[in-house]
Structure 1
Amino acid sequence: MRACAAGFVVHVTARNRLPLDYSVRSLRVADFLVDGLRKGGADRERVAGTLLGLGAYVGEVLVRRAGAVWVDLDPDQRTYFGQAVGVRMPDGRVWNPLGKVLNRFTTGEAEESLHRFYLTMPGRARRAAA
């Protein structure tokens, strides 16, 4: 997933000067990107690769800033989250950043904010938020 996130950043920033620097603040940019896809009327299948890249990016922010690690989900977790991978926080909790991006895209609700997801997430390591 780390390579997926890096490829997404290279692709998205090639023509735009978006501040996707794996900081907590950059999750606001991720919210903006998801909202733009949604407001542009894109259907989920057409933007599936972009949503996957955004989910990988959000997960990588959790890895770099909150002490998470990427994990392959077990069969029960795969069924519950609808994804094959997630992140495990320092306290052992497993989260689904890919699904969080899909929820933001599907609903567009402020409660699904990727930035808020990070800020309210229990179990993260106490690191300086950039």
Structure 2
Amino acid sequence: MTAQTETRPPAAAKPVRWAADAVAAMREGARLRLDYSAQSLWRVDRMIEEIRREGPPYAAVENVLRGFGAYAGEVVVRQTGAEWWATGGDHWIRTPDGRLWDPFEEARRAYEGNGSLRLLCRDATASAERP
């Protein structure tokens, strides 16, 4: 166990696992490397767009989108020092400025054509940098 995982709040356990599963699935299935950088979210947004164009029902891709949302949340956590929060089975990230962000909802919105995990990361990172 690394020092980083030892100090993570319990709310991080599931999203961190979902993110790692998404990274592994993309590496093995799509030959796409995700490195937890903000730039990698461009690739995730494009992957969501490709899935959307294929037209599967939301229920068929819900777990994939959950993984992408968790991955985006973990990118924000690593970029800003944010923390995962959980209540009643829902997970969010809280940036140091106190704002709550829902990367899972943003992944769903991206699938519907109205969201972007890259832009969520950009906005959350900019918000955390403000004094």
TM-score interval for Structure 1 and Structure 2 normalised by the shorter chain: 0.7 to 0.9
Q: What's the % identity of the aligned pairs?
A: 34
What 5-or-longer segments of structure 1 have no aligned partner?
76-82
1:80-95 equivalent positions in 2, closer than 5 A: 84-95=90-101
CA-to-partner distance for each residue in 1:89-125, whole Å, 9 max, x for gaps? 001111100000000101x14xx22212222334325
Find the partner of 1:58 among 38, 63, 72. Answer: 72
What 5-or-longer segments of structure 2 have no aligned partner?
1-14
Structural RMSD (CA): 1.7
Select the structure that is richer in helix: 2
- When normalised by structure 1's length, the TM-score is 0.80
Count how many residue pairs are aligned between Structure 1 and Structure 2.
Answer: 115
| Mapped contact 1:67–1:125 kept (Cα < 8 A) | no
Deviation at residue 11 of structure 1 after TM alignment: 1.6
Q: Which residue of 2 aligns with 1:96?
A: 102
One-letter amino acid of the structure 1 residue matched with residue 62 of structure 2: A
| Mapped contact 2:16–2:74 kept (Cα < 8 A) | yes
Flag as ranges the 4+ runs of structure 1 deviating above 6 A: none
How far apart, CA to CA, are the structure 1 residues paired with 2:110 and 2:22? 18
- When normalised by structure 2's length, the TM-score is 0.80
